[in-house]
Structure 1
Amino acid sequence: MCAIFGIIGKIDIKKIEYSLDLMHNRGKDFDSIKKTSNAVFGFNRLAIENIDTNIQPLVLGKKMFVFNGEIYNYKNLIKDYNLKAQTEIEVIASLWNKFGVEFVKKLDGMFAIAIYDKKLYLFRDEFGKKPLYFTKNGIFASEIKAILPFFEKKLNLQALSEYLAYNSSLAPNTIYEGIYKLPAGCYFDGEIKRWHDFNRIENGEWKIENCIIEIEKLLTNSVEKRLMGEVEVGSLLSGGVDSSLIAAIMSKQRKIKTFSIGYDGYENYDERRYAKLTAEHIGSEHYEVNYTKQNFFDEFENVLFSMDEPIADSSFFPANFLAKHIPLKVVLSGEGSDELFLGYRRYNEYLGFFDAYLPNKKWLKKYLERHPEDIKEWEIFRRFFADEVVFRGINETFYQRQINRVLKKNAYEVDYKRFVKGWGSFDFTYFDLKVWIGEVLLMKLDKMFMANTIEARSPFLDKNLVNFVFSLPENIRGKNKWIVKEIAKKHVPIEIVNRRKKGFAFPFLEWLKEENELRVIIDVNRETKIFNEEYLKEIIKTGHKRYKQHLWTLYLFSRFVKKEFL
């Protein structure tokens, strides 16, 4: 929806104008800077709702309010609490005056909110859909780049270990020491405090038949509320069952535009045929773009700029290119379904450890430790034999032993235990909502689409739907996304429903090798001396057989360091 920025204390307005300009792509319809005696807030707007009303930042006496996102239930809140308000920001201000920090629990939406009321308060939605960065001396912004002009850049080595493990730093860390990101479901009032967390309270009364009906109803309601606004809403369409189902539900409300991307000459990666099949079935006005090696390298620096910090999901690059070709302000996407309904094949592998029993685990643990191998499978079995937590995120890349090896004295222990709840297979969902979705996938949707002045919304990640899923018995929730597929059978071609799961992948490693780009990893490291060069060479030599994601993680970080620190 927009970019927000603020600073506590007196500051040159020109500097704030510069920081807002760095985030211009997040909102080109309106901009404003307002101040009180102790604070200055700035705002760039992408107008979607109440298009002709531009009142942010909102100043009420000595208080000031600004927010980025959408509050889907703001009209209901006006009625429920008899508020003298017409816009989302006025609702936020009215609720703040009525409830204080508890106001945030009334909101249904995606948001990053800043309030100045004697001191600075920051709030972020349950999932972390809208980013919010801050410093402990009173600066906040939607993007890190807006804070950097006020800061001396220094690499955060703890965040680097997290990045190697999980493709991103983990909140509250960022890759820059002294710049923090507010964790999802938290607020900041001088300290980081949690206002929301997902909980599991099983409701054993749910049966298969009424469960499917309820989830379809919740998903349909979620899609409908995300059609809110005074602008046209389109849909991303990958060719998989999740985006196809979202687009199909949308098309029941209105004729829609759908958007897909593919790769000529790389049939193993190209899903446009399946996207077109769904588009024809639902009658959408369908658009396709082709992504090439030239596009990849030409746009690399621009994508790094929009990322703000390294996030090692290669799909950021085609997502950014697709967004450039979408002539709308809002699109819906299918993120979240795999994590809620255990759609990844690797979940099945981890499920197998729950019932596994071996009487000689201690002996097997000692045997493994005497015969170490630098592969994920070795580490997974070591954890099992050692009675440690086996599942540590679907996107875990470098495990701790590898982090220690590649970083040596620069390595930090990565704290995964904060994401472990002891909920059986629901641990997979909780962990991945916090890490894979919260730190990676939602940042792709925000950063790559807002870089092109588009707001992306994700209906599967609706708090009512997610809370319902967390209440299901394990045998009802099941695995392999069976519930989603049952619902989809009513809406999309059966060929789409029965397709094997395929990720949003493209031939990045082939292109890097063709252009001899992997040498950048060694070249940059010889200047920074951050990594163990011998291990880097081993990873590069072995390549995709074992280390495809490792290579991408190292390459992206090397390009980032070269851009920002060398």
Structure 2
Amino acid sequence: MCAIFGIIGKYDLKKVRYVLDLMIHRGSDYQNIVEFKDGVFGFNRLAIENIDKNLQPLKIGNRVFVFNGEIYNYKDLIKQYNLNVKTEIEVIAGLWERLGVDFVKKLDGMFAIAIFDKKLYLFRDEFGKKPLYFTKSGIFASEIKAILPFIEKKLNFDALAEYLAYNSSIAPNTIYNSIYKLPAGCFYDGEIKRWCDFERIENEKWTKDNVCNEFEKLLTESIKKRLQGEVEIGSLLSGGVDSSLIASVTSKFRKLKTFSIGYEGYDNYDERKYARVVANHIDSEHFEVNFTKKDFFDEFENVLFYMDEPIGDSSFFAAKFLAKHIPLKVVLSGEGSDELFLGYRRYNEYLGFLDAYLPNKMWLKKYLERHYEDIKEWEVFRRFFANEEVFRGINEIFFQRQINKVLKVKAKEVDYKRFLKGWRSFDFTYFDLKVWVGEVLLMKLDKMFMSNSIEARSPFLDRSLVQFVFSLPEVVRGKNKWIVKETAKKYLPISIINRRKKGFAFPFYEWLKEENELKRIVDINRKSRIFNEEYLKEIIKTGHKRYKQHLWSLYLFSRWCEKEFL
């Protein structure tokens, strides 16, 4: 795991060293800069595999290669293509020589890759596990902060609208006007082109009788490939079924260190007692961290620095603090299970709309519009009565009418239709893999854990496992993660499997209220003049009754805007 950077065209070597040092947290084991006729590539390394080799950037003739990530099948590719090489970067170079841009389809892993061969090529894995940012003038980097010194900072209001809707800008947008994010499963050669996407090809051989065995086999294989490396690997453990299943399966292969976080005095949020049950069950060496209000405010500016652009998921702060207390280079995490197997309660609510039939829908739509309420439930029923797409992402916060109310500047309507495929409940999974998982959860894992030089790996988000899920008949996949829970009975206490689901949340709203911090939203807005003040006051006044997540999004953005622009 590393940081990569490059410029095609003129450059200042001193400035290149400066921005690489800005990303030193991504890998301090080795730093190197390779200059060539058309530009410069730079690299910081966190050594995990081939610790004494795999040095980058790699220059072969007039071609230059650099990458960030892990290629789990690189040894298989060496044998398959009879390559006389030893390292991942050499495999990438060898496959590029033989296959050109199609080389990327052979890679199984998480990666961001840059290649110069007469022009610049950029590649990103199909889930978006490793970030990659670029400008159209020929600069690329693992983090936005490495590009900012080369551009004029200007706010992208279309990206701000996406952030309000979905907690994050959506690729190719970033919150900065002239910096772009390469979408997952895409490459860039002057234009953004797709090399991989999730497909829905139903396979009727999967039934409720055989699906769990196949899932267990695929998950086990996914975990085993993610245990590669020459360093110790631990596991995050919340005490929920997903992280617990990952840790339990992993413990069959090696003695494991597990890590959890909690919040003393806030039992509604603190899951450490459940994590202890699992740790005892699998005999892991278990470590706990307590996150306090003081830690939250002390770390706030630090988290914004590593976040790079506003991402409105409060769990970034707990993740950053937990990472700070993990003495390893690699951890496993449970992201992806809820989205693949419909684990969120709200999925059940959206499932109810798929086959629902109501006569007089247009009459009900008119009635609803005469009795407007500024809440999500009202908007969801309005969509249903108007024959619009009801589901627009599990993490939708501000809906479009609210975005139009809160912003002074009119932004383009957020484009949600590109993530709807007409796959019924599998639309939920496709949409959320692209937006909630890809733009929020995976960025949390990368940005917050790499801030402490830790690589986080997500076994549920494995190409073979995800293709398997998209092949399931709808009735077999079902809901409420029944496949995961049934499989988990072999590995976990029933009390863990049946316990009520909690998100990775902490009492941010209580802490903001206690410290009178919410007023900063209005105070900062009086300087930035981005939002309509009256609507801000309405949201703040109503508070947790309607707008808890709205408030967090506004507070985080306000603090970020103050730091970057005021």
Q: TM-score range by the shorter chain?
A: over 0.9
> For residues 82 and 209 of structure 1, what CA distance do their matches in structure 2 show?
41
> For residues 205 and 289 of structure 2, what CA distance do their matches in structure 1 show?
47
For 1:460-475, what aligned pairs fall within 5 Å after superposition? 460-475=460-475
* Preserved contact between residue 410 and residue 530 of structure 1 (Cα < 8 Å): no
> For residues 409 and 186 of structure 2, what CA distance do their matches in structure 1 show?
32
**Aligned amino acid, residue 24 of structure 1:** I
Which digits, 9 at most, give the CA deviation of each residue in 1:303-362, with x for residues without a partner? 000000000000000100000000000000000000000000000000000121110100
2:301 matches 1:294: no
Partner of 1:540: 540
For 1:177-326, what aligned pairs fall within 5 Å after superposition? 177-326=177-326
Partner of 1:336: 336
Q: Which runs of at least 4 in structure 1 moved beyond 4 Å after TM superposition? A: none
> For residues 408 and 342 of structure 1, what CA distance do their matches in structure 2 show?
37
Q: Secondary structure at the match of 1:409?
A: coil
Q: Secondary structure at the match of 2:294?
A: helix
> For residues 179 and 197 of structure 1, what CA distance do their matches in structure 2 show?
24
Which digits, 9 at most, give the CA deviation of each residue in 1:143-183, with x for residues without a partner? 00000010110000000000000000000000000100000
> For residues 439 and 184 of structure 1, what CA distance do their matches in structure 2 show?
9
Structure 2 gap segments, 5+ residues each: none
> For residues 68 and 375 of structure 2, what CA distance do their matches in structure 1 show?
42
1:54 CA displacement: 4.4
1:55 CA displacement: 2.2
Partner of 1:133: 133
1:130 CA displacement: 0.1
Partner of 1:498: 498
* Preserved contact between residue 30 and residue 54 of structure 1 (Cα < 8 Å): no
> For residues 242 and 110 of structure 1, what CA distance do their matches in structure 2 show?
20
Partner of 1:384: 384
Partner of 1:403: 403
Partner of 2:447: 447
2:422 matches 1:422: yes
Q: Secondary structure at the match of 1:266?
A: coil
Which digits, 9 at most, give the CA deviation of each residue in 1:359-417, with x for residues without a partner? 01000011111111100000000000000000000000000000000014333200000
* Preserved contact between residue 336 and residue 460 of structure 1 (Cα < 8 Å): yes
For 1:2-41, what aligned pairs fall within 5 Å after superposition? 2-41=2-41
> For residues 414 and 451 of structure 2, what CA distance do their matches in structure 1 show?
30
> For residues 408 and 165 of structure 1, what CA distance do their matches in structure 2 show?
16
RMSD value over aligned CA atoms? Answer: 0.6
**Aligned amino acid, residue 298 of structure 1:** D
* Preserved contact between residue 204 and residue 472 of structure 2 (Cα < 8 Å): yes
**Aligned amino acid, residue 427 of structure 1:** D
**Aligned amino acid, residue 28 of structure 2:** K
**Aligned amino acid, residue 220 of structure 2:** T
> For residues 133 and 315 of structure 1, what CA distance do their matches in structure 2 show?
23
2:72 matches 1:48: no
> For residues 79 and 53 of structure 2, what CA distance do their matches in structure 1 show?
20
* Preserved contact between residue 54 and residue 88 of structure 2 (Cα < 8 Å): no
Q: Secondary structure at the match of 1:129?
A: coil
> For residues 473 and 529 of structure 2, what CA distance do their matches in structure 1 show?
50
TM-score (norm 2): 1.00
Partner of 2:517: 517
> For residues 133 and 233 of structure 1, what CA distance do their matches in structure 2 show?
28
Partner of 1:100: 100
Which digits, 9 at most, give the CA deviation of each residue in 1:102-129, with x for residues without a partner? 0000000000000000000000000000
> For residues 294 and 456 of structure 1, what CA distance do their matches in structure 2 show?
26
Q: Secondary structure at the match of 2:140?
A: strand
Bigger shift: 175-184 or 8-17? 8-17
Partner of 2:557: 557
Which digits, 9 at most, give the CA deviation of each residue in 1:35-76, with x for residues without a partner? 210020000000000000142000001100000000000000
Partner of 2:63: 63
Partner of 1:151: 151
> For residues 184 and 348 of structure 1, what CA distance do their matches in structure 2 show?
28
1:283 CA displacement: 0.4
Aligned length: 566
